[in-house]
Amino acid sequence: MKAVWSNTIGDLLRRSAIRSPDQEALIFGERRWTYRQLEEASNRLARQLLERGLQKGDRVAAYGRNSDACVLLWLAAAKAGLVHVPINYALTGDELIYLVSQSGSRALFIDPGLARQVEAVQEQLPVEIQGTLRDGEKLDVLQLAGTGSGEPPEVEVGEADLVQLLYTSGTTSAPKGAMMTHRAFIHEYISSVQALDFRPDDSPLHALPLYHSAQMHVFLMPYLMLGATNRLLEGPDPEKVLQILGHEEINSFFAPPTFWIALLNHRDFQVKSLQKAYYGASIMPVPVLKKLQEAVKGLDLYNCFGQSEIAPLATVLRPEDHEQRPDSAGKPVLFVELRVVDEEMEDVKPGQMGEIIYRSPQLCRGYWEQPEETEAAFMGGWFHSGDLARIDEEGYIYIVDRKKDVINTGGVLVASREVEEVIYAHPEVKEVAVISTPDPKWMEAVTAVVVLKEGAVVTESELIQYAKQHLASFKVPKILRFATDLPRNASGKILKRKLREERAEV
């Protein structure tokens, strides 16, 4: 019988284990896994999942914080031909029910610390198999991964098979499950390695949630593919991150702008060996970029831009481009073709605003059980991102806003990001989000929600006067409100949908 070569998520780990069996692959707390151990443990877990009645194509939901068990479940599901469904551990009640039900998950594995959230909606969850990710008594991932044969499971898995449902963050609407294949992810991993200068001898720290596509698929998985040693934290705790960055040989770290701001403002900010700093998930204010460059001399900065549907890396602004274009999202990565178009899908002229559309093997197959949304997203043979941008003569992308976040005030369009950049530059402002709110005269009023720095004293009228000095009159907020914090998901994205809902209730 002729051997069939395959290229799946499981194959990537297997090949790393062949090349570097005794190299440490993953460190989580006191537990350390070599590539051989991670390979064999994920094989055991894959076999155990199949032996309990799960079949190829079944969905398996994971509801927990970062851990080695979370990584094992993902790898095992991929090897068993199952479809992994990562769930934001901050979701509860109806939101949790929606994701588990909409995905049709047959199995659900949870952190014991989240048991109450699950118990509260247990009767409404359609799962047949329920277990724990760690520290559990029944069907515990770590226990299952230590039982049985360490040989690969006997199931045929191909690169075109679904391997994960990546639910969009839902910042503007209900989450949709992007159907991701092995092939899409592997193309994206190669793009990540090439654009972000990953090396097998790097020492990356992973602190952002693994349920989010950026931390899992732009950083952890490409580094596992290369054979690097990965340090994993349960979550993005500034104290713990700074303790590691300040004392250990970590040279690669990713975080959203909000987390970099928290690190920079921390009294104990220092790094020992950091060489490559990655940011993304939301816009990084230019003043923060400059502060980071001043704080860590010689640091290479990379701006990572994309979305879940493209696995998720689409463009990168590399270190050599930051000096001249600090506000750019860079150029498309290796396997991504990109255009900026108008409503008729005609390319806009350099400097004009349009929507980003993509063609790429990294793209999802569509949205899980949402054919109408899939058809609309892939209209004309290109994926419509919903992101508005400008492109310059040299092909560099400048993100203007999400299409749904552009404000139509009196028939004139205003990009919320432009207003945010101006208000953020005020010395007393810590954070700001600009949204639209219904207005009987203007249709939509430019509305700013501002978080001040601790101890700061500034009035609403003072901030509006400041904005008038830097913005055209129609862009100046007509409403400005102060808040103690801004709602965001665990990946750092500000949830403007919730802000709009809150303002509508006022």
Say whether domain 9-158 belongs to CATH 3.40.50.12780: yes
Alpha carbons 75 and 237: distance in angstroms, whole number: 25
CA dihedral 469, 470, 474, 475 (to 10 degrees): -130
Nearest CA among 328, 314, 303 for reference residue 383: 314
Which pLDDT value is given to residue 159?
97
Q: Report d(CA 331, CA 33) in Å as an integer.
A: 36
What confidence score (pLDDT) does residue 1 get? 37
The single-letter DSSP state of residue 451 is: E
Q: At 418, which helix (H) or strand (E)?
A: helix 416-424
419 touches 436 (CB < 8 A): no
Query: For position 275, what pLDDT does the model report?
Result: 97
Cis peptide before 371 (omega within 30 of 0): no
Report the pLDDT value the prediction gives residue 467, as an integer from 0 to 100.
Answer: 94
- CATH number of 204-403, picked from 3.40.50.12780, 3.90.25.10, 3.40.50.720, 3.10.250.10: 3.40.50.12780
Ranges of each domain in the chain: 9-158, 204-403, 407-505
Asked whether the CA dihedral 415, 420, 423, 426 is positive or negative, the reply is negative
pLDDT at residue number 157: 97
Are 114 and 211 in contact by the 8 Å Cβ rule? The answer is: no
Q: What is the pLDDT of residue 501?
A: 79
Helix (H, G, I), strand (E, B) or coil at 476: coil
Asked if residues 71 and 118 have their Cβ atoms less than 8 Å apart, the reply is: no
The reported pLDDT for the residue numbered 491 is: 61
Question: Under a CB-based contact definition with an 8 Å cutoff, are residues 480 and 458 in contact?
Answer: no
Report yes or no: 97 and 76 within 8 Å, Cβ to Cβ: no
Average pLDDT per consecutive 10 residues, the chain (506 residues; last block may be shorter): 76 98 98 98 98 98 97 98 95 92 98 94 95 91 96 96 88 79 98 98 97 96 98 96 96 92 90 95 79 92 96 97 93 98 96 96 98 96 94 95 78 80 91 89 88 93 94 90 86 78 68
What is the reported pLDDT for 283? 66
Give the number of other CB atoms < 10 A from CB of residue 53.
Answer: 11
Q: Which CATH superfamily is domain 407-505 in?
A: ANL, C-terminal domain (3.30.300.30)
Contact residues for 463 (Cβ-Cβ < 8 A; gap 6+): 423, 426, 429, 448, 450, 480
Give how far Cα 162 sits from Cα of 8, 72, 75, 180, Å: 11, 18, 13, 6
Matching fold, domains 9-158 and 204-403: yes
- State which H helix or E strand residue 387 sits in: strand 383-391
Pairing of strands 204-206, 230-232: parallel
Buried b / exposed e over 350-373, threshold 16 CB at 10 Å, is eeebbbbbbebebbbbbbbebeee
